[in-house]
Each structure stands twice: as structure tokens, then as C-alpha cells.
């Protein structure tokens, strides 16, 4: 199924006193680029969230914004490094005696000295559980994004299939007209020869006329271009039914189809064929614009 490269997904939930919101926006991009923005306290999840989103998005620029409000119910625990404190007290006493200091080291001084007090969050709330909960929200937002991309993808599929049908119809018409090019040219040439016959003092060689017609037929032969164009159309139709990311393959096929249409327009010395080739090129350009939004 075709997916659009553009879309939006959102998920929010609460856990205890924490409320988190995940928003994912996807736009057109030639390659895959996933940018994750997290609160500083959750930066350790950046890589895992990027890998998680990459499972749902194959191509395009994706911005993942995670906001977290509130605080966990965990309590702050203070831990004293007694070895550091004892060393400071010992040094303070020695300095007091040596320099006859009148102001001894106080408890307040000890508490403010770096390394004496360490703070950490108690494990009342399981950090791993919160991280898993947040990743589940990201997964939910990614699924919401995919749903929107697939909905738009159905519209793209219908439009591309309709335009491909038109290209196939015009290609078949050109195939029917191609064998007539030689006869049309021969008829025009013979008409001109008959018109010149009464004006020229010499007789025109029929063999030379036949040679000219053969040369024209070879020069204007578009059978190979039509075969390749038809093959590309079939491959394009096959790709439309695949589940994988097909945007870049479709873009390549359109380039090849446009190349064949250009050659047909330049080689075929036939007004109707040239007109149909222009119609094909115009439709291919419209398809190319749509393809830029296919994942």
C-alpha cells in the first residue's frame, strides 16, 4: 500500500503525577531523517526512540517532540561521604592548631563542601517502567502517524493509477499508428514526385524513391521505445501494489518513461503520434509531482 511522506501523529497519557505528550510530524525528504526532541531528564531515551520510529517510517523528515509535565513521586535521598568529612575535620583541627585560628570548622561548612553530600532519587518509582511507558506513547503516536499516511496514500494510489491508465491508452494508440507512418510518408512522397514530374526535365528513379522511404522507416522506427515504455508502465503498476517503500523506485521509472516519450516525439514524423507523446509527457510530469510525496 502506498504511503504519503507527510502526516501527523499524537498521543498523550498520564502516569501518577506525570503527564506526557508525544507529537510526530513527517514531511517530504529525499532520504530518511528522524529528529527527536526530549526533556533533558529523558535524553537517555533519544536513540531508542529514534530506532522505534524508524520501524514505522522508511523515508521523509520526521520530527518527534516529547514533552513531560509534573514530577515523579520519588523522594530525594541525601548520602554523606563520611571519609571525606573526617578528612576535612582532621585537616581543620590541624590547621587551627598550627595557625592559632579562632574560628573552627562548623557543620554548615562541612555541608557546603563539594563531595560531602550526595543527593539521589529514591527508587520508589521504577525508572525503567517510566521509560517503557514513554516509549509506548511514542509507538502509539507513530501508529497514529502511519494511519494518516496510509489514508493519504490511498488517494495518491487512486490518482497515480488513473493517470497510468491514460498513459497506457495513449501508448496503445501510438502502437497502432506507428505502422502507418511509413505508408503515410510514402504517400506524401509519391504525391510530391507526381507534382514534380511535370516540372522536371528528367525522370525520377522509382528505386531511389523506395530507398528514401526505407531510410525514413528506419529513422522513424519507434518500436523499441514503445516496448520499453510499455514495460516501464507494467513495472510501475506492479510497484503500486507493493507494501514496501516505493517512492524512489517510482521516481526512477517515471524518469525512464519520460525518456522514451521524448524519443518517440522526436523520431516519429507523424503529427498525431507527436501530439500523443506530448500528452504522455504532460501526464508523467503530473505523476512525478505526486511521487515526490510517496514514501
> What is residue 104's predicted lDDT score, i.e. its pLDDT?
72
Tell whether 228 and 272 lie within a shared domain.
yes
Overall average pLDDT of the 114-120 stretch: 75
CATH number (domain holding residue 169): 1.20.140
- Say what percent of the chain tops pLDDT 90: 53
Q: What pLDDT, on the 0 to 100 scale, is given for residue 75? A: 45
1 within a domain of the structure (yes/no):
no
177: in domain: yes
CA gap 185, 270 in Å, rounded: 9
Least confident of 67-71, 273-277, 284-288: 67-71
- For residue 101, the model assigns a pLDDT of 74
pLDDT of residue 153: 94
Q: Does residue 165 form part of some domain? A: yes
DSSP code of 72? Answer: -
Taking the CA atoms of residue 232, residue 238, residue 239 and residue 243 in that order, the dihedral angle to the nearest 10 degrees is: -170
Q: What pLDDT, in 10s, does the model give residues 229-253?
A: 999 999 999 999 888 889 999 999 9
CB 3 within 8 A of CB 295: yes
CATH code at 22?
3.30.230.40
145 and 38 in a common domain: yes
The torsion angles phi and psi of 3, rounded to 5 degrees, stand at -120, 140
What is the b/e burial string over 29-59, where b = at least 16 CB atoms within 10 angstroms of the residue's CB?
A: eeeeebebebeeebeebeeebeebbeebbeb
Q: Are 49 and 98 in the same domain?
A: no
Q: Which residues contact 102 (CB under 8 A, 6 or more apart)?
A: none
pLDDT classification of 92: cutoffs 50, 70, 90: confident
Residue pair 254/287 in contact (Cβ under 8 Å)? The answer is: yes
Rounded CA separation 63/247 (Å): 20
Residue 187 lies in a domain: yes
Q: How confident is the model at residue 116 (pLDDT cuts 50, 70, 90)?
A: confident
Q: State whether 87 and 168 are in the same domain.
A: no
The pLDDT > 70 percentage for the chain reads: 81
DSSP 179-229: HHHHHHHHHHHHHHHHHHHTT-SSPPPHHHHHHHHHHHHHHT--HHHHHHH
Residue 92 in any domain: the answer is yes
Range with top average pLDDT, 95-104, 108-117, 158-167: 158-167
Is the pTM higher than 0.85? no
Rounded to the nearest 10 degrees, the angle between the axes of helix 247-267 and helix 271-291 is: 160
Task: Say if residue 214 is in the same domain as residue 264.
Answer: yes
Whether 201 has a pLDDT exceeding 60, the answer reads no
Domain of 199 in residue numbering reads as: 153-291
pLDDT at 294: 93
For the cut 50, the answer to whether the pLDDT of residue 73 exceeds it is no
Give the residue with greater pLDDT, 100 vs 167: 167
The verdict on residue 34 lying in a domain is: yes
In-domain check, residue 2:
no
Amino acid at each position: 500500500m502506498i504511503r504519503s511522506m507527510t502526516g501527523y501523529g499524537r498521543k498523550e497519557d498520564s502516569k501518577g503525577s506525570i503527564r506526557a505528550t508525544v507529537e510526530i510530524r513527517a514531511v517530504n525528504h529525499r532520504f530518511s531523517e528522524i529528529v527527536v526532541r526530549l526533556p533533558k531528564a529523558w535524553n537517555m531515551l533519544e536513540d531508542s526512540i529514534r530506532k522505534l520510529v524508524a520501524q514505522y517510517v522508511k523515508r521523509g523528515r520526521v520530527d518527534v517532540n516529547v514533552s513531560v509535565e509534573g514530577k515523579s513521586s520519588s523522594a530525594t535521598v541525601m548520602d554523606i561521604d563520611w571519609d571525606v568529612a573526617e578528612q576535612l575535620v582532621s585537616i581543620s583541627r590541624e590547621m587551627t592548631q598550627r595557625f592559632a585560628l579562632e574560628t573552627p570548622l562548623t557543620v554548615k561548612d562541612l555541608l557546603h563542601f563539594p563531595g560531602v553530600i550526595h543527593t539521589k532519587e529514591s527508587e520508589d518509582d521504577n525508572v525503567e517502567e517510566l521509560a517503557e511507558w514513554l516509549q509506548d506513547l511514542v509507538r502509539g503516536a507513530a501508529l497514529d502517524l502511519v494511519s494518516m499516511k496510509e489514508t493519504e496514500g490511498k488517494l495518491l494510489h487512486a490518482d497515480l493509477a488513473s493517470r497510468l491508465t491514460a498513459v497506457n491508452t495513449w501508448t496503445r494508440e501510438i502502437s497502432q499508428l506507428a505502422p502507418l507512418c511509413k505508408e503515410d510518408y510514402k504517400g506524401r512522397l509519391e504525391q510530391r514526385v507526381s507534382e514534380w514530374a511535370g516540372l522536371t526535365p528528367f525522370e525520377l528513379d522509382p528505386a531511389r524513391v523506395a530507398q528514401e522511404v526505407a531510410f525514413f522507416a528506419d529513422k522513424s522506427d519507434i518500436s523499441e521505445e514503445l516496448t520499453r515504455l510499455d514495460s516501464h508502465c507494467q513495472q510501475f503498476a506492479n510497484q503500486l501494489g507493493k507494501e514496501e517503500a516505493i517512492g524512489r523506485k517510482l521516481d526512477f521509472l517515471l524518469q525512464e518513461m519520460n525518456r522514451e516519450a521524448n524519443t518517440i516525439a522526436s523520431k516519429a514524423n507523424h503529427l498525431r503520434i507527436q501530439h500523443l507523446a506530448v500528452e504522455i509527457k504532460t501526464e508523467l510530469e503530473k505523476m512525478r509531482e505526486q511521487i515526490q510525496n510517496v514514501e
